[in-house]
Amino acid sequence: MQFEPVIGLEVHAQLKTKTKIFCGCSTKFGNPPNTNTCPVCTGMPGVLPVLNRQAVTFAIKASLATHCKINKESRFDRKNYFYPDLPKGYQISQYALPIAEHGFLEIDGAASDTIKIGITRIHMEEDAGKLIHDPARARSMVDLNRTGVPLIEIVSEPDLRTSDQAGAYLRKLHSILKYIDVCDCNMEKGNFRCDANISLRPLGQKEFGTRAELKNLNSFKHVEKAISYEIERQTYVLEEGHNVIQETRLWDPVKNKTFSMRGKEEAHDYRYFPDPDLVPLIVDDQWILSIEKQLPELPDEKHSRFMKDYNLSDYDAKVLTASIELADFFEAVAGPLKDKKQAANWVMTTLLGMLNSKGITILESPVTAIAFSKLLALLEKEKINAGAAKTIFDEMVDTKKDPKIIVKEKNLEQVSDLSALETMVKTIINENPEEALAYRNGKTRLFSFFMGQIMKKTRGKADPKIVTQLLKSNLSTEPSIEKK
């Protein structure tokens, strides 16, 4: 029997407000433990939460960017459970009436089609604290700095069918939240976290099967790998005639497998009820409209514009708009240049290659967009050739020097003096009569041999376009001679 995977993702994104969701404490990461705290976020009796307006604005912005319908009235509820990182004994969240519902985002399918993935709801909630375990001294400590930091939870419809689609959905959502600047989206730091729900059903069946929920997925790769593993595991369970049990599983990135954390019988009954300390959240049209006006160009729109304005392929535009930082970098590079396609190629290969090999982000690039643009301007004006440009680029990475200075220092100015190059071409042909003969007899592969000789003579500085023309004309001036 063939099975079809059904996947739905729940994403928690930390909103980048300066202060917490219900008190004035700082949200700054990395401060000494328990210094960003007050009676409200440490859950003292008798305190009252006050909703942070900026957090609501960010939540609405994220909702609009994912095509959700904003609920003009939403509510905060108490989600009750006991855990040492939750001093109040409940988390303030939204349950029955979330801030937004019924959205979607679009991802690329395998057959260069577009797939719409539904977003069930987006709700606001507060984060919990952090436990720090110290097994050496057999103790655990709690840091409440994160307690009360604002989150949105974005719940997808069970519309995803493969781990690749899940990865694409997550990357798209990540990219959108970065574009609209409401979340730092650092998965390792945990301010963009994902739980994945997976079930299988016999192909053609309408009802969903029993699902497992995967937690502890802190990179895109882990999400994709864990889902693939889980699909394989559940297929095996079903093929063996057993049932998948509803449970929460964790991903072990070392062993590359999921393992059971808790079963359904241990699942919490949260006893949600409306928080009596908070009035319903009313959002009027004017507020929504003013946020809508602040929405920047989103990834899909930027992608279309890049194809149109810069004449880029669908693929190139996708690579360059995947992150807002890369898109901005590319636009700053390409802006002053004529050849946008060349700029795109250099950004995608040379620049991204360098970042990749150094393991750094574009924000940490030793070569700025302006410096990179200057380098490509020299190439465009044929002051240097592509080989020299690469040498200069490597030097810029090491020294951060201006490309023009490197050209002077290393004497890399392109040789485009026609008569000097023509003399050189003639000499090379005379010095290599056998190769010249073979070329003229059809061994055209030897063209690169001659080009190589000229580049050797000029230490790589000859204008390849001029040399190509000169070689072609000089190598074909004599009639073809029969080989004896």
197 binds ligand ADP (CB under 6 A): yes
Residue 480: DSSP 8-state: P
CA 263 – CA 212 distance, rounded (Å): 9
Tokens of 96: 């029955």
Residue 140 β-bridge partners: 133
The piece of 149-157, 176-184, 324-332, 392-400 that touches ligand ADP (CB under 6 A) is: 149-157
Tokens of 236: 């095996």
Q: How many residues does the chain have?
A: 484
Which partner from the list ligand ADP, Zn ion, none does 197 bind, CB cut-off 5 to 8 Å by kind?
ligand ADP
Tokens of 269: 């009954």
Q: Give the nearest distance from C-beta 118 to ligand ADP in angstroms.
A: 8
CA within 13 Å, CB half, 349:
7
Binders of ligand ADP among residues 226 to 285 (CB under 6 A) are none
Query: Which residue, 157 or 380, is less far from ligand ADP as judged by CB?
Result: 157
Query: Which residue, 63 or 156, is less far from ligand ADP as judged by CB?
Result: 156
How many chain residues bind ligand ADP (CB under 6 A)?
14
Q: Give the nearest distance from C-beta 7 to ligand ADP in angstroms.
A: 6
Q: Give the nearest distance from C-beta 240 to ligand ADP in angstroms.
A: 20
Q: What are the residues binding Zn ion (CB under 5 A)?
A: 23, 25, 38, 40-41
Which partner from the list Zn ion, ligand ADP, none does 40 bind, CB cut-off 5 to 8 Å by kind?
Zn ion
Which partner from the list ligand ADP, Zn ion, none does 168 bind, CB cut-off 5 to 8 Å by kind?
none
CA 143 – CA 42 distance, rounded (Å): 10
Which partner from the list ligand ADP, Zn ion, none does 158 bind, CB cut-off 5 to 8 Å by kind?
ligand ADP
Pick one of 211, 302, 374, 461: the residue that binds ligand ADP (CB under 6 A): 211
Q: Give the nearest distance from C-beta 281 to Zn ion in angstroms.
A: 20
Per the CB < 8 A criterion, the answer to whether 15 and 58 are in contact is yes
H or E segment to which residue 454 belongs: helix 447-457
Our CA angle for 116, 117, 122, nearest 5°, is 135
Tokens of 145: 């700095």
Query: Which residue, 92 or 446, is less far from Zn ion as judged by CB?
Result: 92
Which partner from the list Zn ion, ligand ADP, none does 25 bind, CB cut-off 5 to 8 Å by kind?
Zn ion
What strands lie across the sheet with 192-202, from one edge to the other? 69-70, 100-108, 114-126, 150-156, 3-14, 192-202, 212-217, 247-252, 257-263
Contacting residues for 43 by C-beta, under 8 A, at least 6 apart: 86, 87, 88, 89, 147
Report the candidate in 43, 7, 4, 46 with the shortest Cα–Cα distance to residue 25. Answer: 43
Which partner from the list ligand ADP, Zn ion, none does 211 bind, CB cut-off 5 to 8 Å by kind?
ligand ADP
Q: Give the nearest distance from C-beta 375 to Zn ion in angstroms.
A: 50
Which partner from the list Zn ion, ligand ADP, none does 38 bind, CB cut-off 5 to 8 Å by kind?
Zn ion
Which residue blocks in 240-323 are alpha helix, DSSP H? Answer: 285-294, 299-309, 314-321
8 binds ligand ADP (CB under 6 A): yes
Contacting residues for 472 by C-beta, under 8 A, at least 6 apart: none
CA 297 – CA 290 distance, rounded (Å): 15
Pick one of 9, 86, 334, 454: the residue that binds ligand ADP (CB under 6 A): 9
Pick one of 65, 99, 182, 198: the residue that binds ligand ADP (CB under 6 A): 198
Tokens 């790589």 locate to 460
199 binds ligand ADP (CB under 6 A): yes
Residue nearest to ligand ADP (CB): 8
Pick one of 3, 4, 6, 262: the residue that binds ligand ADP (CB under 6 A): 6
Q: Binding residues for ligand ADP, per CB under 6 A?
A: 6-10, 155-158, 197-199, 208, 211
